[in-house]
Amino acid sequence: MANVISDETIDYVGILAKLDLSAEQKEQAKKDMGRMLDYIDKLNELDTEGVEPMSHVFPVSNVFREDVVTNGDDSANTIQNAPEEKDGMFMVPRTVE
């Protein structure tokens, strides 16, 4: 296996993706990601020099809305699924000390 994923890398990815892994899950994740990257490295066999990266498969552009208010008070719907709420707002653990 060419790609060896370190503990640091897995921890870092955990911070980025907001995932907490047990020691056992971490080992598995390191293995899985390493194998996947080995597989993805196959792309390097292709010469892509000068090829424009393609995000959108069709050349559609300039899709706009006009600046007109179309929405009214939707607060009841907005808050409807909130796990915790107070005064019409979403309640979360304190964000500043």
Residues binding another protein (CB under 8 A): 9-10, 12-21, 29, 32-33, 35-37, 39-46, 48, 51-58, 60-71, 73-75, 77-84, 86-96
CA dihedral 40, 25, 19, 77 (to 10 degrees): 100
| CB nearer to another protein: pick between 2 and 66 | 66
DSSP category for residue 20: -
Least distance to another protein, CB of residue 93, Å? 5
Least distance to another protein, CB of residue 4, Å? 13
Residue whose tokens read 């959108």: 56
Name residues whose C-beta falls within 8 Å of residue 89's C-beta, 6 or more positions apart in sequence: 79
Least distance to another protein, CB of residue 10, Å? 8
Q: Six-digit token pair at 56?
A: 């959108």
